[in-house]
Chains A and B, each alone.
Chain A
Amino acid sequence: MYTRKKNIFVRMSENVNVQKALGVILPVLLGIVIFVLWQTQVIHKIFHVDVFTLPLPTRIVSIMIDNISDILINTKATVFAAAIGLLIGSVIGYVIAWVADRWKGFGSGGLIIVTAFNAIPIVALAPVMTNWTRDVSPDASVRSMVSKILVVMIVSIASMSINAYRGLTELKPYAMDMMTSYAAKRREVFWKLQFPNSVPYIFTALRVSAPNSVISAIVAEYFAEYIIGVGRQIRENIVLAQYSTAWAYILTACIIGIVFYVVLMIVEAIILKHRK
């Protein structure tokens, strides 16, 4: 029988290994293209900007290297606010989901209120939190940290409570009947069925809220009293027209966001290894 030989590109694109490799190669290529266009000032010509407001990549990197100790101090403050806020917010979100499942009457109504909270923009939230935390501590650095954590926390609650609620309630058909037939207690149903079932949903929530927590911490820093953090440095340096330094901190912010996401992906891959 005569079969038409497929063209080499079609055959290659059907190969699984080629597909996997392309998933890495294509984004890297795009990055290189952008870098080249940026470094050769093609981007500057297209968008009519000068090298002062949009410094060249090599210049940004050299500023980062020169200021590495300052950058690390500010990174630490931002990462701390983002991580702690994310942790506390996620735990609160999970507890809300648990309550919504445990007392069904509260359920959907409570979750709608939580979602509504999520719609408040961070720029509106941050000054309110700074004002609220005025009397928390005589130390401005502590006050600011608490207000930043509160902002991140509120932003993290909604995505966790909605996803965790699904994780607690979207069970396999008959799973609840099965537990009932074993005369399982409510505590056993939770720990042996509902909680493990909700774990993939926890990761779904974190995929959204982990990068969000970094952005929220940075925006909250704009409004914070105490001058520290990656976000605050971006603002301060733009105000002082030190665009190269500002861009060094913008790049730092990107790196923090990516690191948060990658760490999450690795943890997820380990924990959910057998579920795929």
Chain B
Amino acid sequence: MEERMNSKDVQIHINHVGMTFKDNKGNDMEALKDINLDIKKGEFISLLGPSGCGKTTLLRIIADLLKPTKGSVRIDGMMPREIRMQQKFGIVFQSPVLLDWRTVRKNIELPLEIMHYDAQRLPERSAEMLKLVGLEEFANHYPKQLSGGMQQRVGIARALGIEPELLLMDEPFSALDEFTKEKLHVDMLDIWEKTNKTIIFVTHNIQEAVFLSNRICVLSPHPGRLSAVVDVDLPKKRTLDIRDTLHFSELVAKVRNSFEGGSL
């Protein structure tokens, strides 16, 4: 399965990417097989699939945290490594990875310090990010004083603070309860609208993928491969009640049926 489009719109070009790991018995384990995908600037794209389908592996290859064994990735015509060295990746991991000894504000400033961001403008920048995720009052709190949902929001603020070209999110809400998750879904769409970032979002939750993204890449396991790409033709501005519409249910069904070997 290939997903190609007009080359001038393309920001990320994933070309015949394959990834083979050695398992602990020394056998080859094919995590990804011949992935071809183009992603446009400003898209909210989900990589959706069950565990073992290689969705996180693909995200890590895009982020230059892993080198593919086959094929290549180009972002704005450059190698992922170049983008990483220019500090243009904002990554939100499965856990918030906040440093316990730094206040919320200082956590958001961490990547900016590493980038040698103008020290005088640091407080202004972190305050701006805190406002974006609605945590202004918690600037001087320590991570342990925050709930899981708030911690993950700090993680999002930290990722966006560096003005990334790309926001990569690896199952960022999987550890949160349903109520917090719903709130963050709405926040995420709001942030996407305000910042116009390209977002690549890894998830195993079909509803989450349909609600958030404008395009869903369905990955199937053994070996991890792209089995379908589903366009989500919902309006860009979405509220939670859109999930109660028939069209939403149809999209969920369409995605579910697109997994190879039928429904999951």
Instruction: Give 4 nearest A-B pairs by CB, closest first.
Output: A174-B93, A274-B142, A182-B111, A182-B114
Given contacts A192-B110, A274-B142, contact A173 B65 (CB under 8 A): no
Bound: A211/B99 CA distance, A: 31
B113 within 8 A of A: yes
Residues of chain A within 8 A (CB-CB) of B99 are: 175, 192-193, 196-197
Bound: A184/B89 CA distance, A: 13
In chain A, what residue has the closest Cβ to B162? Answer: A182
The answer to whether A181 and B114 touch across the interface, beta carbons within 8 angstroms, is no
Q: How far is the CB of A192 from chain B (nearest CB, A)?
A: 7
A275 within 8 A of B: yes
Bound: A193/B91 CA distance, A: 17
A11 within 8 A of B: no
In chain A, what residue has the closest Cβ to B91? Answer: A181
Q: Which A residues are within 8 Å of any B CB, using their own CB?
A: 172-175, 177-184, 188, 192-193, 196-197, 199, 274-276
- Enumerate B77-97 residues with CB–CB distance to A below 8 Å: 84-87, 89, 91, 93-95, 97
Pick from B85, B89, B101, B142: contact of A199, CB below 8 A.
B101
The answer to whether A181 and B95 touch across the interface, beta carbons within 8 angstroms, is no
Residues of chain B within 8 A (CB-CB) of A197 are: 99
Pick from A175, A177, A188, A199: contact of B65, CB below 8 A.
A177
Q: How far is the CB of B13 from chain A (nearest CB, A)?
A: 20
Bound: A59/B178 CA distance, A: 70
In chain B, what residue has the closest Cβ to A183? Answer: B85
**Interface majority SS (helix, strand, loop, mixed), chain B:** loop
- Enumerate B135-190 residues with CB–CB distance to A below 8 Å: 142, 144, 162
In chain A, what residue has the closest Cβ to B115? Answer: A182
B58 within 8 A of A: no
The answer to whether A192 and B101 touch across the interface, beta carbons within 8 angstroms, is no
> Contact string, B109-146, partner A, CB cutoff 8 A, digits 1/0?
01101110000000000000000000000000010100
Pick from A181, A188, A199: contact of B63, CB below 8 A.
A181
Contacts between chains A and B (CB distance < 8 A), count = 59
In chain B, what residue has the closest Cβ to A273? Answer: B142
Q: How far is the CB of A123 from chain B (nearest CB, A)?
A: 41
The answer to whether B95 and A174 touch across the interface, beta carbons within 8 angstroms, is yes
The answer to whether B101 and A174 touch across the interface, beta carbons within 8 angstroms, is no
The answer to whether B95 and A172 touch across the interface, beta carbons within 8 angstroms, is yes
The answer to whether A184 and B114 touch across the interface, beta carbons within 8 angstroms, is yes
The answer to whether A174 and B94 touch across the interface, beta carbons within 8 angstroms, is yes
Residues of chain A within 8 A (CB-CB) of B65 are: 177, 180-181
The answer to whether A182 and B87 touch across the interface, beta carbons within 8 angstroms, is yes
Among B64, B89, B100, the one with the most A-chain Cβ atoms within 10 Å of its Cβ is B100
Bound: A274/B142 CA distance, A: 7
Residues of chain A within 8 A (CB-CB) of B97 are: 172-175, 178
Residues of chain A within 8 A (CB-CB) of B95 are: 172-174
Residues of chain B within 8 A (CB-CB) of A181 are: 63-65, 84, 89, 91
The answer to whether B144 and A274 touch across the interface, beta carbons within 8 angstroms, is yes
Bound: A192/B144 CA distance, A: 18
Pick from A177, A192, A199, A274: contact of B93, CB below 8 A.
A177
Residues of chain B within 8 A (CB-CB) of A192 are: 99, 110, 113-114
Residues of chain A within 8 A (CB-CB) of B162 are: 182
Residues of chain A within 8 A (CB-CB) of B84 are: 180-181, 183
In chain B, what residue has the closest Cβ to A193? Answer: B99
Bound: A196/B110 CA distance, A: 13
Bound: A184/B112 CA distance, A: 11
In chain A, what residue has the closest Cβ to B141? Answer: A274
